[in-house]
Amino acid sequence: MCGMPVNPFTPAAVAGQGVGGQQPGVGTPTPPPAVWPASAPSPSADSKNNVTAASGCIGCLLVLCLLGGLLKTSFENILLGSRNDVEAYLYSTEFVKKRLKAPSTADFSSKRESTVLKLGEHEYAVTGYVDSENGFGAKIRSNWSTKVRKEGDGWVLEHVQIGD
C-alpha cells in the first residue's frame, strides 16, 4: 500500500473497519449512505410533487404565451405602425403601380423605408420609391408620393406624384 491511492469506499471501509487499520472518520472521507434517509419522500409523494410541478410549469407557459402575444402586437405596431398606416402604404403602392409603364417589374421601398404621415382622421400622405423599367427597358428608381383617404372598407386616391 506504499504510494498507492487508498479507496475509502472499499467494503471494509464502509463496514466501519477503516482503511489500513485506521478508524472510520479519521483520515478517510465518510462514504455516502447505503440507504436513503427516512425523511426522503416516498415514491407516491414524488409523483404528487411531479404533477404539481408540471401544472405550475404549464401555467407559467400559458402566461408567457399570452404576454408574448401582447408584446408581439405592440412591437408590430411600433415597427410597422397601425393597421391603417399599413393599409395606406399598401394601397398607395397599388395606386402607383397602376401608373407605371411596366408595373410587373416594380420593386417598392419597404414600409420601413417609406413614410406614412397621418394627416387627419382618415387621411394619410405616403412617400417612397419604386424601381421599375421605363419605356426603354432600363430599370430606374423614381420617388413617389400619394395622398389617400379611407372610406368605409376601401381607400380613395386623392393625389399621386411619381418622379421629381
Q: Is the pLDDT of residue 143 over 80?
A: yes
Beta-carbon contacts of 143 under 8 Å, excluding residues fewer than 6 positions away, are 127, 128, 129, 162, 163, 164
Residue at 5 is within a domain? no
Residues 108 and 153 in one domain: yes
Residue with the three cell numbers 409603364: 101
Residues 134 and 112 in one domain: yes
Q: Is the pLDDT of residue 10 over 60?
A: no
Residues 128 and 61 in one domain: no
Range of the domain at 62: 28-77
Q: How many domains does the chain have?
A: 2
Lowest mean pLDDT among 12-16, 104-108, 114-118, 129-133: 12-16
How far is it, in rounded angstroms, from Cα 142 to Cα 131?
6
pTM value > 0.75: no
* β-sheet bridge partners, residue 147: 125, 159
pLDDT digits (tens, 9 = 90+) for 14-55: 555 555 555 555 555 656 655 555 555 555 555 556 666 666
Residue at 69 is within a domain? yes
Residues 141 and 105 in one domain: yes
pLDDT digits (tens, 9 = 90+) for 66-87: 556 555 545 544 555 588 999 9
Residues 87 and 72 in one domain: no
Residues 32 and 68 in one domain: yes
